């Protein structure tokens, strides 16, 4: 493990103004996204859509890294340039999703654990050869009204995340560690904060036990937010304050950056929350984004699978990237929405 190399990649991904575009939807997930705009999920449509994202002129100003799916890492532009090479040439660091999805946790009904550790060392070596410099693994933690998540469910997911992160650093890839506490459900913001705190404590204890160098990783957490079905939704400032309080209690200052997932928030909410956090007092880590839906939903709506709409789709992506770049410095305001 070359810690200086890992550090410099992690720092480049979250350099000033910059964050991550999560474009690593698995085939079943992108099929759902395409179905919402009546586009068939063929290999060529997936390739074309990703090409539209990756060739949008100027995204490199605010996108430091893009997470790809296995199929995408092996695809090319229309002109035959491999996607990882295209991104690297534009100064965007290519990354790869390496988990194989959250599956039912045996004997713990209602809980999940993420699979994909078997054979991971060999897969990481191949991904590095193909040009990936960082990786992502997502653990999924659900909240119910009673006893989910259980302490064991949290521990099992934290352990898998740490095994993945250690293998990544051994292979020279920066691990993005993503423990996602879902915003599904009717729980209030306090419950989300308590669960997120327990999860992050467990994750950093396991990372430490696995000898993962905090300087050479990025954390991709959920924001602390009320469940989607909760009748009382917290304000932007409440979300920002609760999220930072939770992270400051649990995330070592040696971690270079926090790159939030959007998790089903609207594009504007995700930007607004990020902005509010960056407008508060300085934090020990960069506070940035690694959004999937909050960057891509407006792009899909503009594209609709039509070549005639490519310019509009790329403009929609650039607009979201630009606004999130401003939010990285606390310079975004809600009044900027709808002015693109
Ligand atoms: P969302 O921002 O849509 O939650 O996606 C981020 C991601 O990469 C989930 O693993």
Residue 73 has pLDDT above 90, yes or no: yes
Point out the ligand 1 atom lying closest to the alpha carbon of residue 260. 2
Residue 340 has pLDDT above 60, yes or no: no
CB neighbour list of residue 284: distance below 8 Å, 6 or more residues apart: 248, 253
Residue 295's H or E segment, with its range, is helix 293-303
The alpha carbon of 263 and the centre of ligand 1 are apart by a number of angstroms equal to 6
The alpha carbon of 258 and the centre of ligand 1 are apart by a number of angstroms equal to 14
Q: What is the pLDDT confidence band of residue 201, given thresholds at 50, 70 and 90?
A: very high
Probe residue for ligand 1, chosen from 292, 298, 299, 320 as the CB with the greatest number of ligand atoms within 8 Å: 292
Which domains does the chain carry? 3-336 (3.20.20.70)
Residues annotated as part of the active site: 178, 220
For 28-66, write each residue's pLDDT tens digit: 999 999 999 999 999 999 999 999 999 999 999 999 999
Residue 251 has pLDDT above 80, yes or no: yes
CA 175 from centre of chain: 12
Q: Measured between alpha carbons, how far is residue 273 from residues 48, 249, 317 in Å?
A: 31, 19, 19
Q: What are phi and psi of 22, to 5 degrees?
A: -85, 105
For 260-299, write each residue's pLDDT tens digit: 999 999 999 999 999 999 999 999 999 999 999 999 999 9
CA quadruple 161, 164, 170, 171: dihedral, nearest 10: -140
Q: What is the pLDDT confidence band of residue 337, given thresholds at 50, 70 and 90?
A: very high
Question: Using CA atoms, how far apart are residues 244 and 235, in angstroms rounded to an integer?
Answer: 14
Strands 112-114 and 257-260: unpaired
Probe residue for ligand 1, chosen from 291, 295, 300, 320 as the CB with the greatest number of ligand atoms within 8 Å: 291
pLDDT at 338: 79
- Residue 53 in tokens: 């994202």
The alpha carbon of 211 and the centre of ligand 1 are apart by a number of angstroms equal to 27
Percent of the chain with pLDDT over 70: 99
CB 138 within 8 A of CB 101: no
Question: Using CA atoms, how far apart are residues 327 and 270, in angstroms rounded to an integer?
Answer: 10
What mean pLDDT is predicted for residues 209-232? 98
CA 282 from centre of chain: 22
Point out the ligand 1 atom lying closest to the alpha carbon of residue 291. 2
CB neighbour list of residue 49: distance below 8 Å, 6 or more residues apart: 30, 34, 39, 303
Point out the ligand 1 atom lying closest to the alpha carbon of residue 270. 2
Question: Using CA atoms, how far apart are residues 304 and 39, in angstroms rounded to an integer?
Answer: 7
- Residue 143 in tokens: 């909240």
Sign (positive/negative) of CA torsion 271, 275, 276, 281?
Answer: positive
The alpha carbon of 123 and the centre of ligand 1 are apart by a number of angstroms equal to 22
Give the residue ranges of DSSP H helices in 55-109.
70-73, 83-89
234-238: which pairs have CB atoms within 8 A and are 24 or more residues apart? 234/189, 236/269, 236/272, 236/273, 236/276, 237/276, 238/189
Instruction: Write the residue with the smallest CA distance to atom 8 of ligand 1.
Output: 22
pLDDT at 151: 98
Question: Using CA atoms, how far apart are residues 19 and 61, in angstroms rounded to an integer?
Answer: 10
Which residues sit with their C-beta closer than 6 Å to ligand 1? 22, 138, 178, 261-263, 291-294
What mean pLDDT is predicted for residues 199-208? 98
């Amino acid at each position: 493990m070359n810690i200086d190399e890992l550090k410099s990649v992690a720092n480049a991904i979250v350099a000033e103004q910059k964050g991550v575009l999560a474009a690593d939807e698995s085939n079943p997930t992108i099929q759902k996204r395409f179905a919402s705009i009546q586009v068939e999920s063929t290999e060529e449509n997936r390739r074309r859509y990703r090409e539209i994202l990756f060739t949008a002129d100027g995204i490199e100003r605010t996108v430091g890294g893009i997470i790809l799916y296995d199929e995408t890492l092996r695809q090319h532009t229309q002109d035959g340039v491999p996607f990882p090479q295209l991104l690297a040439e534009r100064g965007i660091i290519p990354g790869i999703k390496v988990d194989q999805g959250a599956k039912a946790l045996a004997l713990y009904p209602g809980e999940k654990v993420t699979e994909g550790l078997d054979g991971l060392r060999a897969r990481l070596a191949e991904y590095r050869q193909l040009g990936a410099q960082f990786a992502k693994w997502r653990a999924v933690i659900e909240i119910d009204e009673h006893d989910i998540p259980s302490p064991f469910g949290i521990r099992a997911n934290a352990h898998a995340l740490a095994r993945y992160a250690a293998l990544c650093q051994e292979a020279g890839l920066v691990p993005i560690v993503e423990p996602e506490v879902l915003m599904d459900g009717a729980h209030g913001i306090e419950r989300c904060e308590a669960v997120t705190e327990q999860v992050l404590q467990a994750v950093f204890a396991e990372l430490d036990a696995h000898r993962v160098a905090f300087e050479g990783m990025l954390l991709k957490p959920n924001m602390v937010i009320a469940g989607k079905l909760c009748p009382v939704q917290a304000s932007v400032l409440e979300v920002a304050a609760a999220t930072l309080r939770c992270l400051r209690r649990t995330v070592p200052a040696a971690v270079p950056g926090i790159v939030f997932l959007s998790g089903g928030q609207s594009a504007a909410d995700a930007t607004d929350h990020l902005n509010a956090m960056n407008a508060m007092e300085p934090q020990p880590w960069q506070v940035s984004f690694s959004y999937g839906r909050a960057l891509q939903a407006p792009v899909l709506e503009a594209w609709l699978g039509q070549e005639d709409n490519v310019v509009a789709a790329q403009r929609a992506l650039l607009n979201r990237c630009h606004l999130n770049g401003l939010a990285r410095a606390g310079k975004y305001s809600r009044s900027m929405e709808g002015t693109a």
